[in-house]
């Protein structure tokens, strides 16, 4: 569910509201959500810590704490972080509760339990956390056709599948992959290594346009995505191909198709995207 724009929206909201605040206690109610370290160390390692920075890398929200560790929250398909004032009614699928000073709660709510939490101390932990293996960020100016060409040079997989690969580009999910390929008029089944430099230039430009527009709209609420206050985004009204199969393409009038690529629903206009 949450792709780069949804995570970015969440991070911006939380940055303004969590900075300098203290986590008094942590209660994990679905143990397998904590991927590192063990649940007990996770809970104890966060107690009493103060937020220093809130950042995003790909789809990971990274909370730096004074003293050096980093809390990573990955929302999986249905995860949300809610920041609730004292006395708020409970949320339905809370899996972890961060009890803050003053009775506020940061709740990780996740119906499908695909979300992941990691507490990482770069000084002491030997593991490589997943956000250090990601490809370039699409919105930081380092994703160019020139940078992308060698990354796709020997890749025969469909460009749609490669867009979803976080080691190729960070932060793209199923919605924005389809929207981007429509905007730059590239067929989702084209092999990665078949794209010309001109097409890659169009792809990079389309990707940043699609993502930036979605951030302005505070994300796409297709079914479950909500912001930290439980409010929906508005970008779902801007989608031109995603889940619009059977409707006419707004550009040429051809019926939008749906196929399955790499196990993911893929929506495109067979006339605009060759």
Partner DNA sequence: CGGACAACCTGGTTGC
Partner DNA sequence: TGCAACCAGGTTGTCC
Residues annotated catalytic, as ranges:
2-3, 59, 264
What is the Cα gyration radius of the chain? 20
**Residue 273 near residue 185 (C-beta atoms within 8 A):** yes
CA distance 239 to 249: 11
> Of the ranges 13-21, 139-147, 152-160, 180-188, which one interacts with DNA (CB under 7 A)?
152-160
Q: Which two tokens stand for residue 144?
A: 């160019």
> Applying CB under 7 A, does 57 fall inside the site for DNA?
no
> Applying CB under 7 A, does 2 fall inside the site for DNA?
yes
23 vs 81, beta carbon nearer DNA: 81
**Residue 35 near residue 118 (C-beta atoms within 8 A):** yes
> Applying CB under 7 A, does 103 fall inside the site for DNA?
no
> Alpha carbon 134 to chain centroid distance?
12
> Applying CB under 7 A, does 222 fall inside the site for DNA?
yes
Among residues 135, 136, 138, 219, the one that binds DNA under rule CB under 7 A: 219
**Residue 51 near residue 11 (C-beta atoms within 8 A):** no
Smallest gap from residue 123 Cβ to DNA (A): 22
> Alpha carbon 119 to chain centroid distance?
18
> Of the ranges 14-22, 47-55, 139-147, 260-268, which one interacts with DNA (CB under 7 A)?
260-268
> Applying CB under 7 A, does 157 fall inside the site for DNA?
yes
**36 beta partners:** 118
**Residue 30 near residue 113 (C-beta atoms within 8 A):** yes
> Applying CB under 7 A, does 77 fall inside the site for DNA?
yes
> Applying CB under 7 A, does 174 fall inside the site for DNA?
yes
> Applying CB under 7 A, does 224 fall inside the site for DNA?
yes
Among residues 49, 57, 74, 218, the one that binds DNA under rule CB under 7 A: 74
CA distance 164 to 148: 14
Among residues 96, 105, 180, 220, the one that binds DNA under rule CB under 7 A: 220
Residue 88 CB contacts under 8 Å (≥ 6 apart), including other chains: 105
104 vs 222, beta carbon nearer DNA: 222
# residues contacting DNA (CB under 7 A): 40
CA distance 260 to 160: 10
- Binding residues for DNA, rule: CB under 7 A, are 1-3, 6, 32, 58-59, 74, 76-77, 93, 111-114, 130, 154-158, 161-162, 164, 166, 173-175, 192, 219-225, 262-265
């Amino acid at each position: 569910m949450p792709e780069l724009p949804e995570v970015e929206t969440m991070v911006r909201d939380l940055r303004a509201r969590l900075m300098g605040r203290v986590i008094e206690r942590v209660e994990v109610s679905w143990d397998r959500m904590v991927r590192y370290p063990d649940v007990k160390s996770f809970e104890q390692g966060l107690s009493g810590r103060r937020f220093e920075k809130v950042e995003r890398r790909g789809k990971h929200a990274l909370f730096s704490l004074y003293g050096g560790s980093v809390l990573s929250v990955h929302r999986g398909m249905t995860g949300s972080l809610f920041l609730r004032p004292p006395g708020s009614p409970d949320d339905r699928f809370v899996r972890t509760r961060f009890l803050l000073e003053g009775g506020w709660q940061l709740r990780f709510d996740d119906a499908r339990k695909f979300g992941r939490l990691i507490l990482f101390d770069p000084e002491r932990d030997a593991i490589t956390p997943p956000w250090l293996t990601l490809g370039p960020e699409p919105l930081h100016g380092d994703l160019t056709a020139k940078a992308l060409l060698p990354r796709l040079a020997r890749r025969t997989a469909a460009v749609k599948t490669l867009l979803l690969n976080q080691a190729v580009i960070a932060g793209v999910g199923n919605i924005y992959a389809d929207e981007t390929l429509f905007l730059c008029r590239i067929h989702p089944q084209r092999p990665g290594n078949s794209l010309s430099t001109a097409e890659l230039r169009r792809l990079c430009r389309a990707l940043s346009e699609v993502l930036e527009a979605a951030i302005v709209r505070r994300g796409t609420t297709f079914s479950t995505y909500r912001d930290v206050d439980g409010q929906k985004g508005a970008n779902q009204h801007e989608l031109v191909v995603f889940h619009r199969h059977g409707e006419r393409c707004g550009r040429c009038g051809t019926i939008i198709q749906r196929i399955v690529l790499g196990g993911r629903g893929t929506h495109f206009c067979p006339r605009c995207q060759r």
